[in-house]
Structure 1
Amino acid sequence: MAAENKKFKNFLAVSIFFWFLCLTFSASAHKISIRGVVYGKNTNTPLPGATVQLLNTPKISTTDNFGVYIFTDLADGAYELQISYLGYVQSRTTVEVSSITPTKVVTHLEPGNLQLSEVAVSATQDKPLNIISAVDLQMRPLQNSQEILRFIPGLVIAQHAGGGKAEQIFLRGFDIDHGTDMNLTADGMPVNMVSHAHGQGYSDLHFLIPETIQAVDFGKGPYQANKGNFATAGYADFRTRTALDKNSLKLEAGRFDNYRALGMFNVLGPAARQNHQNAYVAAEYLFSNGYFDLPQDLNRFNVLGRYQVIINDKTIINASLSAFRSNWGASGQIPERAVKQGLISRFGAIDSSEGGSTARYNATVSLERMLAHDAVLKNQLYLIKYDFDLYSNFTLFLNDPVNGDEIRQREKRTIYGYQGNLEKEFSLLGKPLRSDIGLGLRYDDVNGSELSRNRNQTFLAPVQKGNINEANAFAYVSETWELSPRLSVNAALRFDQFYFKYQNLLPNDTLATVLKANRHRLSPKLNISYALSPAVQVYLNTGQGFHSNDARVSVQPNARGILPKATGTDLGFTFKPFDRLFMNAALWFLDLEQELVYVGDEGIVEPSGKTRRYGLNFSARYQLTNNLFADADVNLAKPRARHTDAGAYYIPLAPTATSVGGFTYQTPNKFRGSLRYRYVADRPANEDYSLTADGYFLLDAVAAYTVKKLEFKISAENLLNQEWKEAQFETESRLRHETEPVTEINFTPGSPFFIKAGITYSF
């Protein structure tokens, strides 16, 4: 412990020393010629990520969180400035540059129709897929919180225990379960729950109200220095709106007793907006019985309050409070034979007492301040309270022929966190060097993490119960060197230190009362981007990441693979052959030191073997006319276990081919509609591919029409009314009348044809 703490302190010391070294020698190397800020006209809030170009030059810049952009070392004269932001009217203006004082430009962009011509390709765009995500957010109406994840190209989700449980996630040849290999955050707060009662990395996004989502920052692979635990297949950070354009009330109703109400209201008036203050409250209530024979009685309530103020254009304060509660019943995963024998329908249940409840309360505040020489310092604090209670029955009557195998998993958790970073642009050998240094701490205090045997939600016997304390301290240095307007190189190093403690609360147990462990991980990254032309960008991303193991496994004597390493490479290109076509493609490779396999019936996470995955991603967005868009994402993967017996190297449920796409039509402030498909190919359900998880092809549609202050919308899922399986597992189970267990596919059926109508009043 002492040796590892010393390593951590040494790393921090080197980071701080490097920062001050750069500050001393390079702070005044660049002379600012143009300094501008971009705001949205309706909300008077900064527009981060806007593209700013000096036409007829290779220079491109993007706005930061303050909406600020700069151009340095320009010769005196007139320049034409073009500012683009998706969903806003493009702005062009001529500015005069003088060597005496910097030229200051303030721009307020007006909302407008989406135009793909506004998307630029450059070496400074280090996450090209985020451009696609921004396009999708404009083109695809959100239906529910689950669909937020589907905005990430190549990501597939599945629900398998009622509408209140977190979705199963699939990406890049991974069955991520509920989050073992994808880092998920919301407004910088963690979503993944370490050492969770149901499974490592459990990530429930239902606390997000879909209409409050403004952007999704995401990436694939372990290449971002500011993303640590679980960021192997990728990461996603969901960012809520800083302000509302209008107040709104929404009512929705659909098949299967599906009802939803939403209200979003500005709290402050126009005068406050002129002083860069915005505050709003959003609240959502959802009820659904679902399409199962057993009504799931899903109740969900969300409320979010958010406040932002900008002080003297140099300090941004963001604060938010949110609350979420949900309870539901579930039909679980049913054996294929039970349906074939006519014991139940494909929408039936064997154990009618499955279901659960959960709650999450979030509080966060961040302060972002612009320091001297345009350095930016950001600090964020957050506090999360979380409750979870789940009843499941995976194996039916396999272990207990009398009472059945129902289990209860529950916990109460408090998460305390801090993260901060300092960003500054220097000059190295006369070339811009952007430095980002960050550090943080997350501490999870879990009380009463429990696994018990139950019957009809009545306690029978304990299996596991304890308290968990887990801490993750981290620090990173990320340096991006713009060697030319075409070539950019990013090198980074991240350090993570973990501390695990498990207190066993079972009486008369052979396990020690208190067990502890600690580990650390260094993760290097190297990313190179080169613009072959104004229309073609090539990038090479390489790096290492990791996922942590469950504390109950990590504290065991001689435990191995507590922080299994992932090593990945992406070789890709972004291509814009003409204004209205945008494409991205990547060949990728990812090695994992160890898989994590969750054994639900025993409530433990078991280490598995080494794996290797490689594949191809392709995404395209095409604007056929001013109002009609087409898009497609195709994702191929070959996932394999390493060092296994011949023929037993398949990774169960890992997707090998997926695709989504469709057409979207929208006119300014009137009509919008979309027709979309979802496709998942057949894939192995076990290691030797003796069982197959069936694929599916689905069609969904949305149409909306706006008349003055009213919007009428109708949405439909599974237009062809396909019989499909949303979730599938190889499971050894036994029915009540059976004398011997059977291993086969147990599944949760996907939704039949579903239609929903809604009306929104904006004012």
Structure 2
Amino acid sequence: MTNNDAALTVAKTETKNTQLETVVVLGHQVNQIGKKLSAAEGTVGSADIENRPVLRTGEILEFVPGMVVTQHSGSGKANQYFLRGFNLDHGTDFNSSIDGMPINMRTHGHGQGYTDLNFIIPELIGSIDYRKGAYYAEVGDFSGAGAAAFKLKNRLDKNLLAFTGGENNYGRLLGAGEVELTQGRLLLGAERQVSDGPWTSLNEDIDKTAVNARYVNPLTDGNFTLTIMGYENSWNSPDQIPARAVEQGIIDEYGSLNTTNGGESSRFSLSSQWNNEFWKANAYAIHSDLQLIADFTYFLDDPVNGDQYKQEDERNIYGGAVSHHWESEWLDKPVTNIVGGEFRYDDIGKVGLYKTKVRETISTVREDSVNETSGGIFAQSTISVTDKFSAHLGGRYDYFTVDVNSNINENSGEASQGKFSLKAGATYLFSDSLEGFINAGQGFHSNDARGATLTVDPVSLEPANAVELIVPSKGAEIGVRLFDQQRFNISTSLWYLESESELIFIGDAGHNEASRASKRTGAEIASYFWFDSSWNLDVELAWTRARFAENTQEEGKYVDGSVPFVASTGISYGGNNKGWQGSLRYRYFGARVLESFDQIKANSTSTVNLGIGYRWEKTTVELEIHNLLDSDEHDIDYYYASRLPGEPEEGVEDLHYHPAEPRTVRAKIEYRF
């Protein structure tokens, strides 16, 4: 069992006469007192993940306390993410990685920071390390709200075959196994998933395949891994719909106004890692493709052909990182140090936006090829001033350079920018079970490279202003963590986050859109209780106040899309031993602000999920019921103008929403050997 398997099997031994059952410690049951820099850090283990039913793969990010994961379109594209008052869209301001490989996509056809998690097989995740806030020198781009680092398993307890079937022709076949070689071992995994979805106007026709192959071997005095990952998916999109279309009986709540929307996506990667007590190094190569066809305004911009459009993104990504850890002394005080550097090169062969009709291209709004390069160096030291008090100081410098070749010559060009970010904090150990934290730091997210070289609007060809490549942010936090090995793990924090003008490139339109500077404050509580080896309870609460820093006559002060309150709680029974097991979970996210005057809000959303099963020595059967109460909720809501046939040319301002899927029942059988 390796240190990245934080699901942490404590013991499994055999003698001639006895065999002890596996004792599994969930990630939240690991004592982190004295091991983290803030109260907003944590580790999720594989056992945590396996014990929680998820409707979509992207929901694994909801293990980050306060995170909401939802969807406004087809299941094959990246989810929508909400955290700390941010509508993160598909990933901006939240850094995601897997074994050192970046998941966020820069200068992406569908949006800056695009984070698609569908290529990950959840059963192969060893752990998730999450960090909220911009207080960590190792994390660079997309770091304003926080980060999550996925780590794949280096060892499987058992080989695994599983099949899940459910309503709407849902089927998922999973296989995973481990082969011992003369030198090292090979881990293999594959997933096949199909589904039509609950939609009345179209079959979603999800056709997903994901494969993993991982070689693990000790090398010199460290551990070496070589991993190949492959993923392909295609789907039809049940996009968000205008409320008036349902009210007028044009479609029902699960219908679609344009049934030709959809997409195709693929991702292939080769990555390697080597680490020992003092050094970490990784390198990767990624190939990614996306074609996405959508229509959110119908006949507002083009009354004849309609407003359907296609976004394309095709790229190769190359990069790596290295870091060195060591212990030293300063003024006779022990000091822990880390220094490192990272490099990333995005070779974007095509990133484009096109007008389409029934998936056929009518015209090109904008098409570019982009070379985007970044490098970063960082250092951080933590000094133990006393046995109870420690302080840390760190910083990093990032440099970006981009070269854009556009079909509109005026928008071709080069740009570059650097950014230094400072991080600092302190911890105080009140007792062996109670620790306090204070942190402050600067973060940033990169902007779309096309926005940095923009001179004319790609639609009107009127003059347009370019934007900076880097949007800085800064924040601070105080918090405490209380831990009792036998009973609970509780952390709470108060935080502040300030972002400068959030100038972003709008992939749906092909131009820049500027928002004002913003300030966010909030409070969070994450609490986990275990009553014995079988019963566990978790309660996660997050409050946020998000406001623009300046008022204008034309716009209000409320940040569009921010979620003021999020609650998640669940109780689980069982584990990896034989017998009954189950979980019951409740998730709530409050009424969202849909426009800056706070006059129009989306309703709050509540969801209850149930999982129940029975485990024998090798076989497990499970029943999952998502949206147990069959509540009539919305996954997401927007407020904007669209135009249906016969409506005024300027369109109609209306609520547009994507309904949550109705009660969904799935059954699973699993065989481990």
Of the structure 1 ranges 282-291 and 109-118, higher mean CA displacement relative to structure 2 is found in 109-118
1:547 aligned counterpart, secondary structure: strand
State whether residues 296 and 642 of structure 2, in contact with CA within 8 Å, keep that contact through their aligned partners in structure 1: yes
State which of 4, 8, 25 in structure 2 corresponds to 1:114.
25
Show the counterpart of 1:234: 146
2:61 aligned counterpart, secondary structure: helix
State whether residues 723 and 752 of structure 1, in contact with CA within 8 Å, keep that contact through their aligned partners in structure 2: yes
TM superposition shift of 1:510: 5.8
Deviations 1:654-675 (A, max 9, x none): 1100010111111533222100
Deviations 1:393-442 (A, max 9, x none): 11110011111000010021000102111111112222221111111110
Show the counterpart of 1:706: 615
Structure 1 segment 144-155 matched on structure 2, within 5 A = 144-155=56-67
In structure 2, relative to structure 1, the CA distance for the partners of 1:116 and 1:549 (3 Å cut) is closer
C-alpha distance in structure 1 between counterparts of 2:559 and 2:510, whole Å: 21
C-alpha distance in structure 2 between counterparts of 1:550 and 1:281, whole Å: 36
C-alpha distance in structure 1 between counterparts of 2:45 and 2:483, whole Å: 16
User: How many residue pairs get matched?
Assistant: 653
Deviations 1:194-233 (A, max 9, x none): 0001111111010000100110011001111111010100
Show the counterpart of 1:174: 86
State whether residues 662 and 675 of structure 1, in contact with CA within 8 Å, keep that contact through their aligned partners in structure 2: yes
Task: Note if 1:47 corresponds to 2:10.
Answer: no
Show the counterpart of 1:452: 354
Structure 1 segment 344-355 matched on structure 2, within 5 A = 344-355=251-262
Residue type at the aligned position of 1:711:
T
C-alpha distance in structure 2 between counterparts of 1:570 and 1:650, whole Å: 22
State which of 416, 435, 440 in structure 2 corresponds to 1:537.
435
1:165 aligned counterpart, secondary structure: coil
State whether residues 369 and 406 of structure 2, in contact with CA within 8 Å, keep that contact through their aligned partners in structure 1: yes
TM superposition shift of 1:115: 7.3
The structure carrying a bigger helix percent of its residues is 1
2:88 aligned counterpart, secondary structure: strand
State whether residues 682 and 692 of structure 1, in contact with CA within 8 Å, keep that contact through their aligned partners in structure 2: yes
State whether residues 5 and 153 of structure 2, in contact with CA within 8 Å, keep that contact through their aligned partners in structure 1: no
State which of 308, 321, 324 in structure 1 corresponds to 2:216.
308
Deviations 1:504-525 (A, max 9, x none): 12xxx4625x300000000000
Residue type at the aligned position of 1:720:
L
**Which fold has the larger relative contact order, with Cα–Cα distance below 8 Å and residues 6 or more apart in sequence?**
2
Residue type at the aligned position of 1:709:
K
State which of 280, 286, 311 in structure 2 corresponds to 1:378.
280
TM superposition shift of 1:265: 1.3
Show the counterpart of 2:127: 215
State whether residues 375 and 400 of structure 2, in contact with CA within 8 Å, keep that contact through their aligned partners in structure 1: yes
1:226 aligned counterpart, secondary structure: coil
TM superposition shift of 1:488: 2.1
TM superposition shift of 1:279: 1.4
State whether residues 121 and 536 of structure 1, in contact with CA within 8 Å, keep that contact through their aligned partners in structure 2: no
Residue type at the aligned position of 2:632:
E
User: Once superposed, what is the RMSD of the aligned Cα atoms?
Assistant: 2.2
State whether residues 121 and 537 of structure 1, in contact with CA within 8 Å, keep that contact through their aligned partners in structure 2: no
State which of 712, 734, 755 in structure 1 corresponds to 2:665.
755
In structure 2, relative to structure 1, the CA distance for the partners of 1:302 and 1:135 (3 Å cut) is closer
State which of 532, 535, 550 in structure 1 corresponds to 2:448.
550
In structure 2, relative to structure 1, the CA distance for the partners of 1:115 and 1:459 (3 Å cut) is closer
Deviations 1:433-461 (A, max 9, x none): 11111111100011121111100001111
C-alpha distance in structure 2 between counterparts of 1:517 and 1:311, whole Å: 41
Structure 2, unmatched stretches of 5+, are: 14-19, 456-464
TM superposition shift of 1:366: 1.8
State whether residues 164 and 666 of structure 2, in contact with CA within 8 Å, keep that contact through their aligned partners in structure 1: yes
TM superposition shift of 1:278: 2.5
Task: Note if 1:422 corresponds to 2:324.
Answer: yes
Show the counterpart of 1:737: 646
1:703 aligned counterpart, secondary structure: strand
C-alpha distance in structure 1 between counterparts of 2:302 and 2:212, whole Å: 44
Larger Rg: 1
Show the counterpart of 2:461: none
2:155 aligned counterpart, secondary structure: coil
Residue type at the aligned position of 1:718:
N
C-alpha distance in structure 2 between counterparts of 1:329 and 1:550, whole Å: 27
State whether residues 116 and 623 of structure 1, in contact with CA within 8 Å, keep that contact through their aligned partners in structure 2: no
TM superposition shift of 1:367: 2.2
Deviations 1:644-694 (A, max 9, x none): 237711111111000101111115332221000000111211111222112
Structure 1 segment 244-263 matched on structure 2, within 5 A = 244-263=156-175
Task: Note if 1:296 corresponds to 2:204.
Answer: yes
Show the counterpart of 1:8: none
In structure 2, relative to structure 1, the CA distance for the partners of 1:673 and 1:392 (3 Å cut) is same
2:180 aligned counterpart, secondary structure: coil
In structure 2, relative to structure 1, the CA distance for the partners of 1:132 and 1:747 (3 Å cut) is same
State which of 35, 39, 47 in structure 2 corresponds to 1:124.
35
TM superposition shift of 1:369: 4.4
Structure 1, unmatched stretches of 5+, are: 1-39, 41-45, 51-84, 92-108, 371-375
TM-score of the two chains, using structure 2 as the length reference: 0.93
Residue type at the aligned position of 2:254:
F
C-alpha distance in structure 2 between counterparts of 1:328 and 1:159, whole Å: 14
State whether residues 448 and 505 of structure 2, in contact with CA within 8 Å, keep that contact through their aligned partners in structure 1: no
Residue type at the aligned position of 1:759:
I
Residue type at the aligned position of 2:653:
T
1:137 aligned counterpart, secondary structure: helix
State whether residues 5 and 45 of structure 2, in contact with CA within 8 Å, keep that contact through their aligned partners in structure 1: no
Residue type at the aligned position of 1:255:
E
Deviations 1:265-300 (A, max 9, x none): 11226xx5xx7x231110000001111111110111
Task: Note if 1:437 corresponds to 2:339.
Answer: yes
State whether residues 682 and 695 of structure 1, in contact with CA within 8 Å, keep that contact through their aligned partners in structure 2: yes
1:757 aligned counterpart, secondary structure: strand
State which of 279, 297, 316 in structure 1 corresponds to 2:186.
279
Of the structure 1 ranges 623-632 and 719-728, higher mean CA displacement relative to structure 2 is found in 623-632
2:543 aligned counterpart, secondary structure: strand
TM superposition shift of 1:377: 2.2
C-alpha distance in structure 1 between counterparts of 2:206 and 2:29, whole Å: 42
TM superposition shift of 1:315: 2.1
Show the counterpart of 1:719: 628
State whether residues 394 and 601 of structure 1, in contact with CA within 8 Å, keep that contact through their aligned partners in structure 2: no
1:553 aligned counterpart, secondary structure: helix
TM superposition shift of 1:529: 1.2
In structure 2, relative to structure 1, the CA distance for the partners of 1:117 and 1:353 (3 Å cut) is closer
Show the counterpart of 1:670: 579
State which of 220, 225, 241 in structure 2 corresponds to 1:318.
225
State whether residues 198 and 603 of structure 1, in contact with CA within 8 Å, keep that contact through their aligned partners in structure 2: no
Show the counterpart of 1:474: 376
Task: Note if 1:589 corresponds to 2:496.
Answer: yes
Show the counterpart of 2:604: 695
C-alpha distance in structure 2 between counterparts of 1:430 and 1:279, whole Å: 46
State whether residues 273 and 282 of structure 2, in contact with CA within 8 Å, keep that contact through their aligned partners in structure 1: yes
1:586 aligned counterpart, secondary structure: strand
C-alpha distance in structure 1 between counterparts of 2:508 and 2:12, whole Å: 56
TM superposition shift of 1:500: 1.2
In structure 2, relative to structure 1, the CA distance for the partners of 1:49 and 1:586 (3 Å cut) is farther
In structure 2, relative to structure 1, the CA distance for the partners of 1:377 and 1:114 (3 Å cut) is closer
In structure 2, relative to structure 1, the CA distance for the partners of 1:127 and 1:519 (3 Å cut) is same
In structure 2, relative to structure 1, the CA distance for the partners of 1:520 and 1:124 (3 Å cut) is same
